[in-house]
Structure 1
Amino acid sequence: MKLRNCFREPIKEIFQAAEYLNQAVSFHENGEFLKAENLILKADIPEIREWTESLWGKNSPYLNFEKTVDSPPILKKEERIETRMPNKALKEKIIERDGYNCVFCGTPVIRAEIRKIIQQFYPKALKWERKNIDQHSAFQAMWLQYDHLLPHSRGGNNDLNNLVITCAPCNFARMQYTLSEVSLLNPLNRERTNYEWDGLERIKKIVVRNLI
């Protein structure tokens, strides 16, 4: 199969939602809370949910799995690297290198911590329940993940060169497969176009400033 950058290119509605959310944080900073809430609601776009759901699951038409000769086996749990997720310091290094964009498809991403802060202010606009269907479509698609290039289940470690920033759809779409098994190029070995995006991280500074 032909090698590709990502499973599926992000749709324009994702970037539109990112603009809405960026504006919402700016309105929040200025104390215009109703305007901020309306924009968060506006960013919950049905087409984004359809894009996300087209990628999740083993039946996704974009997966195209093919076993390769050099594929490492799926390890038993007791055989895997003990610590699956990177620590705080390593997470910061990954973000410093990759920014707040999925290294595969370029989707702007938001850390779960930032989503939770925004949800505290706007719980009605930013829905986030247990079921996927009950989660805000933009925050779901733009959910920042620390993804292993060689999956943890296949013996992947937490070295910086094995971890990348991805969106949730790209991470969950690949599941336990290696890059070669799903015909993906290694994003660290090619040029990437990043969307100008700060991950809405500035809302943390706004909260801290208001507490002083």
Structure 2
Amino acid sequence: MGWPAAGIEKGKPREVTAREFNWVCGVDESGRGPLAGPVFAACVILDPDYCIEGLADSKTLSEAKRNSLTVAIKAHSIAWAIGFASVKEIDRINILQASLLAMKRAVESLSLVPSRVLVDGNQKPRLRCPVTTIVRGDSLVPEISAASILAKTARDAEMVALHQRFPRYGFDQHKGYSTERHIAALRMHGISVVHRRSFAPVRELIGTCKN
């Protein structure tokens, strides 16, 4: 995996004026459902004076649109960061806790301390700043929409990289999700070291690790 051991990537905060002190940070994850690969999370503090057009839930956007928005978000946000939790962590502490861990890593790597954090869904990571959960926040809150896009593009890029190591499984196409092709590859080749052993049907194939 081409990521630091701590599971963090972040942008350098831009210079801001003294009046900009109410840092609202959006947080979302990507990759809770797949059978393989890490889970990613991102956090974004948007610039209130710069409108990034087209922000929406990453799942509703085309790959090309997500990629172009990722460039804009990284260039024009006050601050952003990406964190992940590994497959081993997912299997050890479960996918929910691993998702919250990835969120925590992202937020706590920011050079700015958010005034409050808005998280998609109904589960809160343990942070030192106020946290509010918002169901369907990735569709309703621009900061969370931006975070969902960064998390999705970062995880997709990681799965494409993993495809180079494990080409039998087609990670570049399905990104580790449970598709017919993926299940067929699992049955034919067995599980790899990047498959989540705590997930069915991977769990049913324990003992058939081929990579």
TM interval, short-chain normalised: under 0.3
TM score, norm. by length of structure 1? 0.25
Specify which structure has the higher proportion of helix.
Answer: 1
